[in-house]
Structure 1
Amino acid sequence: MKYQLIDLQVNNAIATITFNRPDKRNAMSDDMRTEFIHALERVAGDKGIKALILTGAGKGFCAGGDISGMQKRMNAPSGEVGFNGWHRQQRVHHTQSLLHTMPKPVIAAVNGAASGLGADTALACDFIIASEWASFTWSYMLRGIVPDGGGMYFLPRRVGLSKAKQLIFTGRKVSADEALLLGIIDRKASADDLLKEATDWALELSQASSTAIALTKTILNQSFELSAHDVFAQGSQAQGICYTSSEHRAAVEAFLAKTAGKE
């Protein structure tokens, strides 16, 4: 697929997906979502890619859902509104699930405003680093809708249930400094250094075994919902797979060779 509304680059085993509708503050249109899904599937399936960075072109990260798409839905025949909405939601949830379950570390490098679906998309990543120009707002209710991009799942896990309710009910804007204080983001960087720091972080996070990272991430993503017994059980299964991996064998052999050299 030739991308027009996003950009995908791979350097030193780190992929960077850039939302590329700067004139629309990178609002997510249906066509942009199609390209995004394709890029996520490509990154997930490429064993040569060790981590993913997500950012936006221009002044915004992602302004959420495209308002023109909302208008189009409202103008659809009344008998089609419900099913059209359901079908769109399947696409939204598929996209967010691909991002959340990506079998390698994912960093959102938030360069500007992340609103509505844009804020949820950042939360679906494993880690968030933001510039001083970044801001976050869960503005859904200001449009008469509920957070549909995973915010009702991800936000309470970062800030707690009460604060998540406050942010979602009011739809107020949160600055980068407040986002860091609340735990919405993990790090803050200057706009000039944002992508460099995100890249350095991605390299640090992806040095370990890709197999072990993918399996561990899958279990950690479920750990709040699973019992201790289930976490141990899934961990045991994952460890059995790791025992057979070439990465484990190479690491053990390298350690033994280093130890032998000291004797």
Structure 2
Amino acid sequence: MPFVLVSQPRPHVTLITLNRPERMNAMAFDVMVPLREALEDAGRDNGTRAVVLTGAGRGFCSGADLESPGRIPGIEGLTVSSIALRSMELLDDVVRTMRRLHQPVIAAINGPAIGGGFCLGLAADVRLAADTAYFRAAGITNGLTASELGLSYLLPRAIGSSRAFEIMLSGRDVDAAEAERVGLVSRAVPGAELLDAACDLAERVAGFSRPGVELTKRTLWAGLDAASLEAHMGHEGLAQLFVRLTTRNFEEAIAARKEGRAPDFRD
């Protein structure tokens, strides 16, 4: 059985499922390499307009697999130090790949998201959680740092610096209700409804203009990195002008609204 499953549950929606439930979908390299490849394939698939990422079984991802880490590709002849660097680069690249995708990535967090699994969820553009899910920055409780795979960058931007510091320094669990309250996830729903909720959102996004969605994702992330409002507003304005002047999407939206039908965005 492959450790990563790919399916298309709705039109233009690709579902990627971490499929190692007996290990709570831990981040063995045998899982992360095919996950990166599945994300890259989805990014190249012009029929995919949104991606949903979830885990099989009762967990989303339990972080590093300390018992069965799997094999790191391309390390023949390297020393331990170089192997360590290659391993971190591989895991980091999964997070970077999610950011680079043209399509929005929606994480359907169906259970515990611990350590690297917490980071994986944060790397998504949108997070929905089952009511049984929880999050833990586990590194600090294991005698390491809580910061890994972009967590110290992503978490403060998601929930603010004070909450991020407290969660990362304490290593405590954040349940789904608190995650929704502080903005770590956009919604917490009953577990049986999670995948449908994520796919409903993905299908809605897929119905909009392709450049409109792609540029919205880009400008949202650029806004989090922007040094000033002045600098960022220029990027936003260019994106809006690009879609307005190079497509008939706006005219189609107005016509559809007048005619009481769904718009047909042909970009």
| TM-score in terms of structure 2 length | 0.86
Shift of 1:145: 2.7
Q: Whole-Å Cα distance in 2 between the matches of residues 240 and 115 of structure 1?
A: 41
How many residues are paired up? 253
Q: Distance in 1 between matches of 2:68 and 2:149?
A: 16
Please name the residue that 2:233 is paired with.
Answer: 232
Question: Does the 8 Å contact 1:104/1:206 carry over to 2?
Answer: no
Indicate the RMSD between aligned Cα atoms, in angstroms: 2.6
Deviations 1:146-166 (A, max 9, x none): 321221111111221111111
Q: Deviations over 1:69-110 (max 9, x none)?
A: 67999xxxxx93332222112112211011123222221111
| Equivalence for 2:126 | 127
Question: 1:136 matched to which residue of 2?
Answer: 135
CA contact 2:29–2:71 (8 Å) conserved in 1: no
CA distance in 2, matches of 1:57, 1:135: 16
* SS of match in other structure, 1:68: coil
Q: Is the alpha carbon distance of 1:106 and 1:194 closer, same or farther for their aligned partners in structure 2, counting shifts above 3 Å? A: same
Quote the residue 1:167 is aligned against: 167
Gaps of 5+ in 1: 74-78
**Change in 2 beyond 3 A, CA 1:257/1:132:** closer
Structure 1 match to 2:218: 218
User: For residue 138 of structure 1, what is the amino acid of its counterpart?
Assistant: A
Q: Which amino acid aligns with 1:181?
A: R
Structure 1, 250-259 or 212-221: larger mean CA deviation? 250-259
**Correspondence 1:202 to 2:202:** yes
On the 8 A contact 1:55/1:108 being kept in 2, the answer is yes
Please report the TM-score for the alignment, with normalisation by the length of structure 1: 0.87
User: How far apart in 2 are the matches of 1:258 and 1:49?
Assistant: 26
Supply the distance in 1 between the matched residues of 2:253 and 2:98 (Cα, whole angstroms).
34
Query: C-alpha offsets along residues 23-63 of structure 1, whole Å, 9 cap, x if unaligned?
Result: 10000111211101111011111111111111100111000
The aligned counterpart of 2:176 is 176
- Structure 2 unaligned segments of length 5 or more: list them: 73-77, 260-267
Identity of aligned residues (%): 30
Query: Is this contact kept in 2: 1:16–1:54, CA < 8 A?
Result: yes
